Amino acid sequence: MSIRKQLAVMIWPVAAAAMMVAGSAGAQDKEEIVIGASVPMTGPFAFAGIQFNRGINDYVEWVNSQGGIRGRQVRYIGEDTGYDADQSVAVFRRITSSEDVTFYFGDSTAFQQSIEPELERRDILMTGASFASEINNPEEYPMQFLLGPDYGEQVGILLEYIADENPGASVAFIHSDTEFGRDPIEGGKKMAEDLGLEVATTIVTPPGSADVSAAALELRRARPDYAIMHGYVLSPIPAFIEQARQMRLDTRFMGTIYTMEQGIIDQMGETAEGFLGVMPYRYYYDENADEAPLLQTIREMHDEYQATTYTQGWVAGILMQRIAEHTLDAGRELNGTNMRKSIEEMENIDTGGLIGKKFSFSGNSIPVGRIYRADVSEGRMVPVSDWIELD
Amino acid sequence: MRIGSPKETYAADEALFRTRTQWAWFGVLLAALAGFPFVANLYWLYLVCLVSINVIAVTGLNVLTGYTGQVSLGQAAFMGVGAYTVAWLENHTGSPFPVNLLAGSVVATGVGLIAGLPSLRVKGLYLAIATIAASFILLFIFKNWESVTNGTRGIGIEPPSAFGVALENPDTFYWLVVPVTVVMLLLASNLFRTRIGRAFIAIRDRDISASVLGIDLPRYKLMSFGISAFYAGMAGGLYAYFFGSINPESFPLLMSIFLLAAVIVGGMGSMLGSILGGIFMTLVPELLRYGIDFLGLFMENASAVLSPVRTVVFGLLIVGFLLFEPLGLAEIWRRIRRFFHLWPFRT
Amino acid sequence: MDWLFLFEVSLAGLGRGGLYALTGVAFVLIYKATRVINLAIGEMLMVGAYLFIGFGAGMALPLWLAVILALLGGALLGFVLERTAIRPLLGENPISVFMVTIGLSSVLVGLVEIIWTANPRSLPDLLPRDPIFIGDAFVAPKTFWSFVIAAGVIAVFLLLFRFWRGGVALRATASDQGAAYAMGINVPAVYSLAWALAGLLAAGAGILLGAISGASSSMGVFGLTVLVVVIVGGLDSVLGALLAGVLIGWVESVAGVYLGGEYEQLFTFSILLVVLLVRPWGLFGTREIERL
């Protein structure tokens, strides 16, 4: 046990007793900071929700062992929603009615959209699993920020990489027919044209579609140099790539954040070779971990690989911490409105290296990402670009 | 112990509340509903609002499925129609919210009538499948009629306001949704004291005999679809106001299944069943949450490990009720009541 | 008009239809014998795929053994479901039985998530990957092989129905339960047999589907399209399931490519509605619905 932790253990009972004596008014300063969360631990998004939940739990344990945020302990309460917006709201109500929540984590675009007015009333700052372009709008969603580039910006980063590597190349968009899948497509097409890229075709797959061989034929007819796939977790990406190989297409396939999980290599094997994608966080095995003290902390806590959605939990935690510190240092009370100001003021935000570059928020998002390539022989994602920041 | 309740007129026999005790209990219930917001916190008020919305939708479905015997898996899609109508009116015309809610219900009724057309040709399970098809087609419209529905991005709706107070929180919204639910329930209960309601029941019990008795099957079946969709539209409109934003994924097939499950668990062909089913099925996930909290005291990471259990429990409830208590919670309630009526004697 | 392209798309559609047909046969088998519309068929598929993952990747058994065990597991699942949840409702309102299968599907999803977690998975490599050409037309190898296997399995089953004692008993029960009883056929055993065989077929379809598109706890939605297939074909017609399976697969692929993927479901469900309105007993089903 570190000295700090020992101190904390000794001091806390005393502090708690003092608080009880002093009453609620005097205790305001040293109150706990509560992070609430509606987490999808079941349902179609559970793969991410479970990891996120672990990540933020570990973060909270770590930050408390470090003495908390400016001396205030942090407590995390996350509950399952089954990725159902009704239940996300129910969890929100349940947690906020018994706790004085400062930060909240939301699990879906639908929930994050519908809870915004309530956040404003309660003055709670929120982040979430959604990277919807819609939410990246400080006017409409002042109480929220994103944990990376929005989907549109992710596609933007990919397109910039393409324009840089292969000017004038042709690009296809392949997306699922869902809110998630459709999000960046219109913007992406426009941006591709602005960058002088040719949009070869746009292929829509219905949600849960099993066999994409007809759509793969469509891809062959368009023969794009690159294909950006969005709105999927795993299926049908492997099927598309396999069939493109069999048809001797040299299209390079690209994905966005939720497809860039290590699992894509583990699950796809050989087929994953050369898959490109954008990721705003460092992978567990990042080679420059010396630049990322928090990544080292994660590695000390866990010997085995940790998913990027796990890292996302840490990023959520550390960003909330930075925003809270900035607000407290400015002598302001810790509430949503003041933290919004902090988001606008803060520069060179340091996430302990989990995001590879220091940044300032642009709107509600963090327009930073890096292009990685799946290297099957090494069994990991290797960076092929530097950290890209969109302006 | 109660001996009996004699009646002197037919009107008294078919009255909604037949005894003074029932009137008294109804009064107690209303008083409790009126007092609830002053003692409950926002979480419980949120749940009551959600329960009320679901009870309206379940009641509508019960009229169709429980009383008329037509299975529908399209109730959520009709809710969507109501919700989108309300959202469009709210954002484009600025008409007052009671008008919007009614308009939403009426439009949903129209769509329900169209979706009910297959019921003239097929029945039973075929009909259930036809309503699945109808709900997928509606979903397609929600997704792709961009100018009205704003596509998959969804639309935001400002909260309604009454007497200068914005009904934006469960504690204020409660005063809209609960009275509406009570009225809708009374209307539905009264429906089955009329010729129409009895025609529905006759169709359920044996459509051919009903037809022989002179009941115009197409007309009454469509009417049942229409009424059911009206309730769905009202529930959908309230849902839109309550959540403040809707998108096509707010009304999935799973929600229709949930509503049908609530009808079954509550009790088909029973108003009390609609209420109990709506309450029970909405609260089950919440109760399980408390169970998981409790187990969390003993095991680490309980919520991550135990969460899929909720999916299993949802399924087991449907299966269990159908196997062991096909008349649903309403029957259990009746049994308990009978027990107290006859106490100290045994039934 | 690019005819080669249309031909290729059609082949892809037929390949997709093969799986629909196979699952459709499982569905029809259950319906013919027990008059149950089984909405849990998609989830039975899912369990088959996950059993294969469990045996093949989890326990690292040889793949052929894993396939056999997964098929047997599927059969056992069908058997158990029938005995525990369907049998007690014998003679009840068909709508109750229908709802029971909806409940069962939810139970199966939950169990799979508890045992194998909610992460999407790929299956161990089962089907050959070398590209296949029919003339100049390319066919995706997995689709091709799954079609061939599905066709083979269906052929075997058709022969079984025709010549095997159990198959004859099944058909007898389907056509007249009372008479079958009177002839000394053990009807309850036939019920179990039908569910077990359907479970086996569904597990097989699940393994093939998983090999093509991976497994996840939401892959049961496949069952919805199968529902369309069997209604269009006629609920009690094996031939109908086969032809409608291929037809729906073809329509989906052509609509998806020429109009866009968002139209696939619109087309299948519109076909369903039209069939229900015009010919509710399906293309090849027995006409037994009372006109009202």
Could you tell me the residue ranges of all domains in chain A? 31-148+288-360, 151-279+370-389
Q: Can you tell me whether residue A227 is helix, strand or coil?
A: strand
Mean pLDDT of C56-79: 94
Q: Determine, for residues B308 and C114 on separate chains, whether the beta-carbon distance falls below 8 Å.
A: yes
pLDDT in tens, B218-246: 999 999 999 999 999 999 999 999 998 89
| pLDDT above 90 for C289 | no
Furthest-apart CA atoms within chain B: distance in Å: 66
Mean pLDDT of A82-110: 90
B137 contacts in chain C (CB < 8 Å): 266, 269-270, 273
pLDDT in tens, C15-57: 999 999 999 999 999 998 888 999 999 999 999 999 999 999 8
Residue C183: count other Cβ atoms within 10 Å of its Cβ: 11
Q: What is the ipTM of this complex?
A: 0.88
Residue among A93, A96, A113 whose CB faces B154 most closely: A113
Q: Determine, for residues C261 and A211 on separate chains, whether the beta-carbon distance falls below 8 Å.
A: no
What pLDDT score does A296 carry?
A: 94
Is the CB of B303 inside 8 Å of chain C's CB atoms? Answer: no
More confident residue, A18 or C102: C102
What pLDDT score does B227 carry?
A: 96
Contact C48, C23 (CB under 8 A): no
pLDDT-derived band at A18, boundaries 50, 70, 90:
very low
Q: Residue type for A21, please?
A: V
| pLDDT above 70 for A71 | yes
Q: Determine, for residues B129 and C224 on separate chains, whether the beta-carbon distance falls below 8 Å.
A: no
Residue among B243, B250, B308 whose CB faces A42 most closely: B308
Residues facing A72 on adjacent strands: A69
What pLDDT score does B11 carry?
A: 79
Residue B19, min C-alpha distance to chain C (Å): 34
pLDDT-derived band at B140, boundaries 50, 70, 90:
very high
d(C-alpha B87, C-alpha B108), whole Å: 13
For chain A, the chains sharing at least 3 beta-carbon pairs closer than 8 angstroms are B, C
| pLDDT above 60 for A25 | no
pLDDT in tens, A319-365: 999 999 999 999 999 999 999 999 999 999 999 999 999 999 999 99
Burial category of B340 from C-beta neighbours within 10 Å (exposed 0-12, middle 13-18, buried 19 and up): exposed
| pLDDT above 70 for C264 | yes
pLDDT in tens, C212-244: 888 988 888 899 999 999 999 998 888 999 999
| pLDDT above 50 for B169 | yes
What pLDDT score does B303 carry?
A: 64
Is the CB of B64 inside 8 Å of chain C's CB atoms? Answer: no
Mean pLDDT of A185-190: 94
Q: By percentage, how much of chain B surpasses pLDDT 70? A: 96
Interface probe for C, chosen from A83, A175, A204, A217 (most Cβ of C below 10 Å), is A217
What pLDDT score does C129 carry?
A: 82
A42 contacts in chain C (CB < 8 Å): 110, 113, 118
Distance of CA C209 to the CA centre of its chain: 10
Q: Which residues 225-284 of C have a C-beta within 8 angstroms of A?
A: 249, 252-254, 256-257, 260-262, 264-265
Tell me the two tokens of residue C165. 């004692």
Mean pLDDT of B23-47: 90
- A151-279+370-389 folds as Rossmann fold (3.40.50)
To which residue do tokens 């996350």 refer? A78
pLDDT-derived band at A26, boundaries 50, 70, 90:
very low
Chain B: residue whose CA lies nearest to A141: B156
pLDDT in tens, A363-373: 999 999 999 99
Residue among B117, B217, B319 whose CB faces C100 most closely: B319
d(C-alpha A77, C-alpha A293), whole Å: 26
Q: Which residues 206-235 of C have a C-beta within 8 angstroms of B?
A: 224, 227-228, 231
d(C-alpha B182, C-alpha B48), whole Å: 13
Sheet holding A125-128, edge to edge: A74-80, A33-39, A101-106, A125-128, A144-146
Is the CB of B334 inside 8 Å of chain A's CB atoms? Answer: no
Distance linking the first and last C-alpha atoms of chain C: 46
b/e code C263-285 from CB counts within 10 Å (16+ = b): bbbbbbbbbbbebbeeebbbbbb
Is the CB of B315 inside 8 Å of chain A's CB atoms? Answer: no
Q: Determine, for residues B137 and C273 on separate chains, whether the beta-carbon distance falls below 8 Å.
A: yes
- The pTM for the full model equals 0.90
Is the CB of B315 inside 8 Å of chain C's CB atoms? Answer: yes
Q: Can you tell me whether residue A125 is helix, strand or coil?
A: strand
Interface probe for A, chosen from B243, B290, B310 (most Cβ of A below 10 Å), is B243
pLDDT in tens, B177-191: 999 999 999 999 999
Query: What ranges do the domains of chain B cover?
Result: 42-342
Residue B56, min C-alpha distance to chain A (Å): 16
What pLDDT score does A207 carry?
A: 82
Query: What ranges do the domains of chain C cover?
Result: 3-220
Mean pLDDT of A22-48: 73
Q: Determine, for residues C253 and A233 on separate chains, whether the beta-carbon distance falls below 8 Å.
A: no
Architecture (CATH level 2) of domain A31-148+288-360: 3-Layer(aba) Sandwich (3.40)
Interface probe for A, chosen from C133, C262, C263, C269 (most Cβ of A below 10 Å), is C262
CATH code given to domain B42-342: 1.10.3470
A173 contacts in chain C (CB < 8 Å): none
Contact C22, C250 (CB under 8 A): no
pLDDT in tens, A309-318: 999 999 999 9
Q: What are the C-alpha distances in Å from A277 to residues A187, B346, C77?
A: 18, 72, 41
What pLDDT score does B1 carry?
A: 59
Alpha helices in chain A (DSSP H): 3-27, 46-65, 85-98, 109-122, 151-165, 179-182, 185-194, 213-222, 237-246, 263-268, 293-301, 308-329, 336-345
| pLDDT above 90 for A381 | yes
Contact A257, A281 (CB under 8 A): no
Q: Which residues 102-131 of C have a C-beta within 8 angstroms of A?
A: 110, 113, 117-122, 125, 129-131
Contact A339, A143 (CB under 8 A): no
